[in-house]
Chain A
C-alpha cells in the first residue's frame, strides 16, 4: 500500500463507515454498473469480512469472490491509472520510472486506494470494532447514504482509475483491522508521524504493485497483487480472507532466504524491506501451535492446523513413532475420505497419501486397518482426534534452530510455547521455561538468555549460544520474543521507547497474544464456514515447504487468469485447489538465493567481534550442575524475590541530586504500605499456617548511578569457573557497556552498509528482550517452580538494610568482587521462639567492615534482635537459646526441620536467608573502613514492623560513598505477605533514594512450621 502506516487511520475510518454499508451494498452490487460503485461495494464487503466478527459469513464469500474477479479485470485498466493515485511522498523520486515500467510490462497494477487517504485523514479515527458494532446496529439505510457519499469522495480519484484500486483498498482495510485493536496506541503514534506524508501524497503518482505468491497449507497457491510498499499485514490479511480464516493469529507468512532459513514476515513492516530482493513468494504456515487445539473455536482453524501438522510429520520435522504415524494417518484418511468403503477403497488407495517421511507398505496396511475403525467420525471429529494425538508429541510446536554451545558442539535450540528447549541430537539436555528466563538477547551471532538463579544459586546467569550467523541469532531472538509474548503475556508489550544511546532492535511482537486471540475468538459468531478438505495426496503437495522461486512469470499470469474464472462460481477452496498444480512442478526445486548477503554479514560480524568483547559462552549443561557448596545451600532462591531483585537491579535509576538525606526513612510508611501494594511479584499464596513466624532480613545497598546507558550489561560467565559465577550487572559494567556501545555504533555503519543502504532497525546487532512478568501474567503461569515454595512462606519479621554508596568508585568494579561475595558465606542464624503467641527472637548483627553498630530492638518487650554484619558479607551468628534450627533449603525444608526439631517438641521453625547483591558491590566496604558520618536509627514499632537504618559515609580516594543499611524486622502471625512486604521495602528504598542503587538484599526468615507439612 502506498499509504502504509499513514493510511491506516484512513482505512479504519473507511472500514468503519463502509463496513456497515457494505452489507447493504452487496445486494445492490449486482445492479450497480458504475465501476467505482462496484469497487466501493466490494471494498466494503471485504472490510466487513475482515472485521468478520459481526459480519455474516454468507456475505463474506461473495465479497472475496468479487474481489478476485475485480482484480484480474483491473489488469487492463491499470495502465490508465493516473499517476497521482499512487503518490507516496517517499516514492516520488522513484515513481516515474516505476510507472513507465508498469505500463510497459502490462502487469496488473493494483493500485492502492490512495483516494481514501484524504477522507481518512480528515475524519476522526474510530476503532474498527466500535464502528463495526455501531454500523451493524445502525439503520442500514443511513449507512448506505453515508457510504455513497464517502465512497464518492474517496473514489473520485479512483473513478478514473477504474477498479484496480479496489483490491488494494481492501487489503489496506484488512490490515487495519487486526492491528487496530491491539496495537492502537502504537499505531496511532505511527500514524501521527506519517500523516503529514499522506497529505502531500495526493499529488498524482503511480503506485507500483508487485505480484505475490503465497503457498497455502493445502498445497495450493494464492497470488495477488500488492502495492510495493505494502506491509506484511496487508498480505497476511488477504490470505486469511482468501482462506476464510478468522482465528488467524496462530498463523503467519514465511519467506525463505534459502532452503534452510525461513523468516517470518513481520506484519507491521513493509514487505519489501524484509525480503530484500527475494522473490515475493511466501508460505502460509502455523506460527504458534496452540498447545490445546481443542480450544480453537472453529473447525476451519483446526483444519489448517491439521494440514500444517501433516506437512510437519510427512517432512520429518515432527518425528513420531510408527504407531503414531499409523494412527494419525488413519485420521487423515477419515477426514479426507470419510468412512472406509471397501468398494471404493481398494488395496492401494492409501499409497497416494503421504503419512510419514518414509512410508512403508506395512505402515499403509496399518493405516488402512485403523481407518476402518473410525467409521462414523465426521471430518471435523477426525481432525480433532488427529490433533489430540499430535499435540502430545514431544516436538509438537517446537521451532528448532541450529546452534553451538561454548564448546562448539552442535545443538538445537527449540522454541516452544513453554520456553526454550536445548537438544543435542535427539536428546533434550536442558530446558528453560519462560518463567525462568529473565532476558533474551543477541549480539552478533551470539544468542543469550539470562536465567533466574536456581535454588542453589545465588545469581542470575547468562547462557550464550553461538548461532551460524548474525541473522540466525536475530531470527531466533525474534521467535523467542514472539513466542514468549504470545503464550505468556496477556497483551503484547510496547516496543521500548528510543532512549538516548540505545542500540538494539526494538522489535516486539505486535500481534495478538493467545489470550487475546482466544478472547476475540469467543466473539466469533458466524455459522461454521463451509470449506472443502482437499486431499493431502502426495502428488499435490510440496512437503518440505522448500522455497520456491518464480520460475516463469507467465505461470503466474495463467494462474491468475484461471483464478478469475474459478472465483466466479466456485468456493474459494476449490478454486485454489484447481490451480494448485499449475505452479508446482516448475517451482519446487528452484533455488532461492542470497547466501551472499549472509556471508558478508558473517564475515563482518566476525571481524567486529574481536574488539575486546569477552563473551564466554557457557555450556548449556552447566545449568544442571548444581553448586554443591554448602554455603550455596544456605542461600535460598525465592522466585518473587528474585524477580524483585531483577527489577531493581536492572532498572537504572536516573541520576538525581542527592536527596536521600532529606527523605529519611520513615518506618511508618513501610508499615502502612507493606500491607497492600500488590505488586507484580509472584502469586503470594497466603499463609498456610497460623503458627508460622518468619523473619527476613533485607540488605539493600543502593548505589548511585552515573549515567544511564541504553544497553544493558552483557553478562559473562566463564565456564571454567563452575560453581563460581562472575556476574557483572549494569552498574558495575556501566563503563564497559558504554565502551561497547560506542564500538557498536561505530561498527554499525559498516555492517549495515554491507547489507543494504536501507538498513532498518532490523539490522541492529543487538537485541534485548526482557520477558516482563506482569501481575496479570501471573495468572497464566502454569508451572512456576516457585509456586510451591511460595506457599510456605510468609514473613513476620523483616530486616532490611539499605546501603547507599555514591556513584564514583563503582565504575570499573572488578568482577572478582562479585565472585568473592558470591562465595562468602551468608549465614544467619536467628532463632525464633514462639511461646504461645509471642515471638522471641534474637539476632545479632554486626558490621565489621564499617563501624560496628549494634542495636537491640525490642518488640513488645519480647523480641530482641541483634545482627552482626561483617563487611560486605553478613555473617550473623546466633546461638539458638532454646530451639535448634537449621539452615535449610526451601525445597527440603520440611524434611530437615522435621528431623532437627524432633528433639524440641515445642515449635518447629524454618529459617531462611536469602542474599542478593549487586555484583558491583565494591571492595571498599571490605577494605577501607569508612568513616561513619551518621548513624541514625529510626525504630518504629508497631505490632510487627521494626525498621532500622544505618547510614554510613565513607571517603575513599576523594570520593565519598554513602551507604545506607536498612533493616526491617517484621514479626507477626501468619498475616504478613512477605513477598509484598519485600517488594514494598525495596520499592520504598528506591523511592527514598532514587539516586542510589540497591546492591544487596538479604532476606532472613524464620518460620514456625506447622506440625504437619505436606509432602
Chain B
C-alpha cells in the first residue's frame, strides 16, 4: 500500500483556483500540491465566510466551444476538488448500526485505516479535505456519504433512514454551506434517503430503494437534481445500493458478483438510455470503490486492498488506464462501512 508522503498539510490559505485548472503542471506524476497548501478543518470548525449564496454553473471559464452544462458532460465525471470526511467516534465500536453481528471493531486500527484514507485524498490526490470532528453521540457519523448528496453545485442534505443518524446532517450542512453550495434540505417527514443508496453515473441517478431509502426520498432527490433522470432500483439483500456497486470510471460501473448485485445491475441497464461498461468483481464489498478524475493524474481509483479481496483486486489491476490506490477498510466494513461511505466528494469550480 502506498503510503502518502505527508498526510497533514499545514493550514493555509485556500487556493484560489482548483489546482487542475493550471495547465502548467506536469502531466505525469508531478504532485499537484507541491508547494501549495491545503486547508484542513480538522478538529475545528471553520467559521463560515460571509460570501453571498451564489450558485454558479460550472464551466464558466471554459471557452464557449467546449462549454457544456449539466456538469460538463461525461468528460468531467469524477472531477473533484474537495472532500468532506469525519473522524470516527469511539462509540462506533459498540454502538454503530450493523446489519450483522460480528467481531468488534478494533478502534485503533479503524482509525489508522481511516487516516490513511484521508491521507490519500489529501496528500496523494491533492484534494482539499474538510474534516469534521467526531461526535460521540453519533456513532455512525464517520459515514458522511449518507447525509449529503452533492452533484455539481447543488447539495441535498438527506434524511437518513436510521433515526439515530439524523443529527449527523447538521454539521454537514454547515460545512457545505461554507463551500457556497446550493443547499437543499429534505424536510419531508415521510422521506428517507441514505446517500449510500445514490449512485450518480455522470449521466443519471440510480437510487436504491432499501430499508434506509424510500420512494419519497428518491422523489425529492429527483426534484433536486432536475436535469437528470432518476431511476429507482430495488435493493433487498444489502444495506445500500452502493454496498455492491459504484462507478469505477466515467462510463464504468463496478459491480459485485452476487445474484442481488447482478440483478440490480440488470435493472439499471434496463432503465438507462446509456450503455455502461461493467466491471464485475467477485466480491460485492470490493465493488465499492472511488473513482476520481484528477487532472494531473488522470483516472484514479481507490479500491479495496488485495489483502482483503485478492480476487477482486486482480480485476481492478486490469484497469490499465487507472492509477490504482488500494485502501484497506477491514474495520469499518464490520459495521457496513465501505470506501465511498467515508467521504463526500465535491467539485467546486472557481467562482467568477
B272 contacts A320, C-beta separation under 8 Å:
no
B227 contacts A393, C-beta separation under 8 Å:
yes
Q: How far is the CB of B185 from chain A (nearest CB, A)?
A: 15
Stretch in B60-68, B84-92, B297-305 with 4+ CB within 8 Å of A: B60-68
- Bitwise, B203-236 to A at CB < 8 A (1) or not (0) is 0100100000001001100111111111110100
Chain B residues within an 8 Å CB radius of A376: 64
A895 contacts B225, C-beta separation under 8 Å:
no
Give the CA-CA distance A385 to B70 in the complex, in Å.
12
Give the CA-CA distance A376 to B352 in the complex, in Å.
18
Chain B residues within an 8 Å CB radius of A429: 231-232
> In this assembly, does B55 line the interface, its C-beta being within 8 Å of a C-beta of chain A?
yes
Q: How far is the CB of B182 from chain A (nearest CB, A)?
A: 7
Q: Which residue of B lies closest to A363 (CB)?
A: B55
A374 contacts B226, C-beta separation under 8 Å:
no
Stretch in A420-428, A464-472, A645-653 with 4+ CB within 8 Å of B: A420-428
- Bitwise, A358-400 to B at CB < 8 A (1) or not (0) is 0000000010011001101100010001001100111100000
Give the CA-CA distance A418 to B280 in the complex, in Å.
27
A370 contacts B55, C-beta separation under 8 Å:
no
Q: Which residue of A lies closest to B267 (CB)?
A: A624
Q: Which of B232-279 contact A (CB under 8 A)?
A: 232, 234, 257, 259, 262-263, 266-267, 269-275, 278
Q: Which residue of B lies closest to A416 (CB)?
A: B273
> In this assembly, does A322 line the interface, its C-beta being within 8 Å of a C-beta of chain B?
yes
A431 contacts B272, C-beta separation under 8 Å:
yes
Chain A residues within an 8 Å CB radius of B263: 626
Chain A residues within an 8 Å CB radius of B152: 323
Q: Which residue of B lies closest to A899 (CB)?
A: B282
B262 contacts A394, C-beta separation under 8 Å:
no
Q: Which residue of A lies closest to B206 (CB)?
A: A428
Chain B residues within an 8 Å CB radius of A292: none
Stretch in A324-332, A695-703, A802-810, A928-936 with 4+ CB within 8 Å of B: A324-332
Q: Which of A698-754 contact B (CB under 8 A)?
A: none
Q: Which residue of A lies closest to B275 (CB)?
A: A783
Given A322-B182, A394-B227, A428-B231, residue A385 in contact with residue B67 (CB < 8 A)? yes
A323 contacts B271, C-beta separation under 8 Å:
no
Which of these, A374, A418, A455, contacts B266 with CB under 8 Å?
A455
Chain B residues within an 8 Å CB radius of A377: 64
Q: How far is the CB of A682 from chain B (nearest CB, A)?
A: 16
Q: How far is the CB of A392 from chain B (nearest CB, A)?
A: 4
Q: How far is the CB of A15 from chain B (nearest CB, A)?
A: 41
> In this assembly, does A319 line the interface, its C-beta being within 8 Å of a C-beta of chain B?
yes
Q: Which residue of A lies closest to B263 (CB)?
A: A626
> In this assembly, does A770 line the interface, its C-beta being within 8 Å of a C-beta of chain B?
no
Give the CA-CA distance A377 to B232 in the complex, in Å.
40
Chain A residues within an 8 Å CB radius of B274: 783
Q: Which of A949-981 contact B (CB under 8 A)?
A: none
B229 contacts A394, C-beta separation under 8 Å:
yes
B69 contacts A427, C-beta separation under 8 Å:
no
Chain B residues within an 8 Å CB radius of A385: 64, 67
> In this assembly, does B73 line the interface, its C-beta being within 8 Å of a C-beta of chain A?
yes
Q: Which residue of A lies closest to B154 (CB)?
A: A321
> In this assembly, does A1015 line the interface, its C-beta being within 8 Å of a C-beta of chain B?
yes
A426 contacts B280, C-beta separation under 8 Å:
no
Q: Which of A768-786 contact B (CB under 8 A)?
A: 782-783, 785
Q: Which residue of B lies closest to A319 (CB)?
A: B226
Q: How far is the CB of B220 from chain A (nearest CB, A)?
A: 9
Residue among B67, B204, B219, B259 facing the most chain A CB atoms (10 A cut-off): B67
Q: Which of B46-85 contact A (CB under 8 A)?
A: 54-58, 60, 64, 67-70, 73
A431 contacts B69, C-beta separation under 8 Å:
no
B70 contacts A389, C-beta separation under 8 Å:
yes
Q: Which of A619-676 contact B (CB under 8 A)?
A: 623-626, 628
A426 contacts B266, C-beta separation under 8 Å:
no
Residue among B60, B231, B269, B278 facing the most chain A CB atoms (10 A cut-off): B231
> In this assembly, does A891 line the interface, its C-beta being within 8 Å of a C-beta of chain B?
yes
Q: Which of A305-328 contact B (CB under 8 A)?
A: 319-324, 326-328
Give the CA-CA distance A321 to B230 in the complex, in Å.
13
A320 contacts B227, C-beta separation under 8 Å:
yes
Which of these, B56, B70, B182, B352, contacts A392 with CB under 8 Å?
B70
A427 contacts B153, C-beta separation under 8 Å:
no
Residue among A327, A370, A428, A1015 facing the most chain B CB atoms (10 A cut-off): A428
Give the CA-CA distance A373 to B270 in the complex, in Å.
40
A322 contacts B55, C-beta separation under 8 Å:
yes
B226 contacts A321, C-beta separation under 8 Å:
yes
Q: Which residue of A lies closest to B257 (CB)?
A: A895
B273 contacts A624, C-beta separation under 8 Å:
no
Chain A residues within an 8 Å CB radius of B266: 454-455, 626, 891
Given A324-B227, A374-B64, A624-B267, residue A426 in contact with residue B70 (CB < 8 A)? no
Give the CA-CA distance A424 to B224 in the complex, in Å.
16
Give the CA-CA distance A626 to B64 in the complex, in Å.
46
A427 contacts B273, C-beta separation under 8 Å:
no
B222 contacts A427, C-beta separation under 8 Å:
yes
Chain A residues within an 8 Å CB radius of B215: 424-425, 427
Give the CA-CA distance A326 to B257 in the complex, in Å.
43
Q: Which residue of A lies closest to B269 (CB)?
A: A785
Chain B residues within an 8 Å CB radius of A624: 234, 267, 270
Chain A residues within an 8 Å CB radius of B226: 319-321, 324
- Bitwise, A324-358 to B at CB < 8 A (1) or not (0) is 10111000000000000000000000000000000
Give the CA-CA distance A171 to B246 in the complex, in Å.
58
Chain B residues within an 8 Å CB radius of A427: 207, 215, 218-219, 222, 230-232
> In this assembly, does A521 line the interface, its C-beta being within 8 Å of a C-beta of chain B?
no
The 5 A-B pairs of least Cβ separation, nearest first, read A394-B229, A426-B222, A389-B69, A428-B231, A319-B226
Q: Could you jot down 24 A-B contacts, CB within 8 Å?
A: A320-B226, A321-B224, A323-B56, A323-B153, A324-B70, A326-B57, A328-B69, A366-B56, A370-B60, A373-B60, A385-B64, A394-B229, A425-B222, A427-B215, A427-B218, A427-B230, A428-B229, A431-B271, A454-B266, A624-B234, A626-B263, A628-B259, A785-B269, A892-B257
Task: Please list the residues of chain B having a beta carbon within 8 angstroms of any beta carbon in chain A.
Answer: 54-58, 60, 64, 67-70, 73, 152-154, 182, 204, 207, 215, 218-219, 222-232, 234, 257, 259, 262-263, 266-267, 269-275, 278, 280, 352
Task: Please list the residues of chain A having a beta carbon within 8 angstroms of any beta carbon in chain B.
Answer: 319-324, 326-328, 366, 369-370, 373-374, 376-377, 381, 385, 388-389, 392-395, 418, 424-431, 433, 454-455, 623-626, 628, 782-783, 785, 891-892, 895, 1015
Contacts A323-B153, A324-B69 known; list 17 others, CB within 8 Å.
A323-B69, A324-B70, A366-B55, A369-B56, A373-B352, A418-B273, A424-B215, A426-B219, A426-B223, A428-B231, A429-B232, A431-B271, A454-B270, A624-B234, A625-B234, A626-B266, A783-B275
